[in-house]
């Protein structure tokens, strides 16, 4: 498991926002304890063949497939390409967020935290 991207994402978010992470059972997640210990985040694993236990991930995979079809050679995808896809997805309204974008929800969360502290 290359934890670099996950670590960078966690570090970019407000402190204590990420409280749990659920991983697939693949060997690529063998170093989940590093994330758990470094950030005090509870880590869990899905049961084998239980895709419904990570519905949000499956939904995101479907959204990503709009930009990166299954047979895409990921070695040809640049960091800039990934950043553009990330920006498109994070500025896309979601029904589950009352038609707000993920960026808007995060911004509201950060503003509320600033008022509390």
**Collapsing DSSP states into helix, strand and coil, what is residue 22?**
strand
Could you tell me the pTM of the whole model? 0.75
pLDDT digits (tens, 9 = 90+) for 78-96: 999 999 999 999 999 999 9
Separation of alpha carbons 26 and 1, rounded Å: 9
Q: Would the pLDDT of 1 be above 60?
A: no
């Amino acid at each position: 498991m290359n934890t670099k991207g996950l670590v960078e994402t966690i570090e970019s978010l407000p402190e204590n926002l990420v409280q749990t992470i659920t991983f697939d059972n693949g060997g690529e997640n063998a170093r989940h304890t590093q994330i758990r210990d470094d950030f005090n985040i509870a880590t869990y694993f899905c049961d084998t063949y239980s895709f419904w236990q990570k519905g949000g991930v499956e939904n995101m995979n479907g959204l990503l497939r709009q930009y990166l079809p299954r047979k895409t050679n990921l070695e040809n995808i640049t960091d800039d390409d990934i950043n553009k896809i990330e920006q498109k997805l994070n500025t896309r309204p979601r029904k589950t967020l009352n038609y707000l974008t993920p960026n808007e929800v995060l911004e509201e969360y950060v503003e509320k935290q600033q008022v509390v502290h």
